[in-house]
Amino acid sequence: MSSADGILSAATRIADLLLDVQTRVNGQIDAALAEALPGVQRQLGVTADAAADLGDLVNARITGMSVVVTPASVAAVVPLSEASAATTREARRAVTGIVTGADDRLAVIAGPCSIHDPEAALEYAAFIARMRERHAADLEVVMRTYTEKPRTEVDWKGFAYDPFLDGSSRISVGLVATRLLMCRITALGVPVAAEPLNALTPQYVNGLVTYNGVGARNVTDQTARERVSGFSSVIGFKNSPEGSVESAIQAVMTARSPHEFLGVDSHGVSAQLSTTGNDTGHVILRGAKDGPNYSAEHVADLKRRLAARGLPEVVVVDASHGNSQKNHLRQIDVVHDLAGQIAGGERAIRGVMVESNLVAGRQDLDQRDPGSLEYGKSVTDACVDPGTTEEMLAELAAAVRARRG
């Protein structure tokens, strides 16, 4: 468990042990229900012959149903260290301060489009640690550690779902490996960011994530909006893929309010959840298919819309995706423009997102031969390299100093 390339083997061993435990626990639950439910049925006058045969109605398209590790069991055997907890605690406080205006620095969420290799991720985390130290006075740098990938149609769903990159879909291993990896990264003093895609996965990394970005494909999902109203992390909402900023504003309004909804507890059991609302919610401008939306005019328009809804004038800009029109090198131009706005006194821009990896560009994943992948290069969106990232961070840091001055 100490070496980077041992994370998957360690996660496999942990998952196998926990799956054995969970299988026994599920058996005990089934036995307890079989003993207790007949009494309830008798009290309610429900007879066994009253139930219809549902063999052709239920799970008609389910081909398998496997036991999965629970968040509570994973947390019990992969606890957070004091160093990891301190990293998350301090970074959440810092990014919250930036979003609310109490801290005049800039938040920068930089890292791979997606994580697929724990060893490369840890090497990249060491780079981010150096950048954090260098720019601490001006930037709060958080590492993108995205292990779930939303897909427009069908493709690899991310490290948490298919950690061996071969279509084996060993989700329990992926969930454990994700927690192990985030523990290792935060122990280095590097806070992490994630993109939650469902109600379950965030619980496996509870206490580890500083920043959660709700993606463009999920921003219109009311259940996702309500869910993050209870998140302990800072949250942002990207505009929709076609460019609707109003969708993101509506999501911010929803997430900032308290809610009651159906969720799950740390044992994977259905539960009614009550939330306070998340007052860190803000809009992320990520561009659209037909063009970017990071210009001063776009920022001014968003500020007017936010003010009209009584929301703080806060924006984070994603330099990639629609704003780079899928050309990773255009992130340089986006950051240069944003730096100019910041240096010119624009205070609504509180954060910037950059897709960066050990090697520039991207490559296709062949699930029949994952071992052929080039080390350190993205298997999803193309990224810039560390050298380019250094230059962009330096430019943003200088812009913050100019704005401050």
pLDDT greater than 90 at residue 205:
yes
Give the C-alpha distances (Å, rounded to integers) separating 89 from 106, 127, 202, 211, 212: 18, 21, 17, 11, 14
- pLDDT at residue 3, rounded to an integer: 45
- pLDDT at residue 252, rounded to an integer: 98
- Please give the average per-residue pLDDT across 197-226, as a whole number: 94
- pLDDT at residue 52, rounded to an integer: 87
- pLDDT at residue 47, rounded to an integer: 87
Tell which CATH architecture fits domain 71-404: Alpha-Beta Barrel (3.20)
Per residue in 6-44, pLDDT (tens digit) is: 999 999 999 999 999 999 999 999 999 999 999 999 999
- 230-249: buried (b, 16+ CB within 10 Å) or exposed (e) per residue? bbebbbbbbbbbebebebbb
Instruction: pLDDT band for 198, please (50, 70, 90 cuts).
Output: confident
pLDDT greater than 50 at residue 1:
no
Tokens of 310: 């009584």
Tokens of 87: 């990293």
Instruction: pLDDT band for 391, please (50, 70, 90 cuts).
Output: very high
Instruction: Give residue 52's region: left, alpha or beta (phi > 0; psi -120 to 50).
Output: beta
CB 226, CB 123: distance < 8 Å: no
- Please give the average per-residue pLDDT across 274-294, as a whole number: 96
User: Which residues have CB under 8 Å from 361's CB, separation 6+?
Assistant: 328, 377, 378, 382, 383
For the chain, which residues make up each domain, given as ranges? 71-404
Fill in the amino acid letter for 314: V
Per residue in 310-326, pLDDT (tens digit) is: 999 999 999 999 999 99
Q: pTM for the full model?
A: 0.95
Write phi, then psi, for 193 (nearest 5 degrees).
Answer: -120, 155
Per residue in 129-153, pLDDT (tens digit) is: 999 999 999 999 999 999 998 766 6
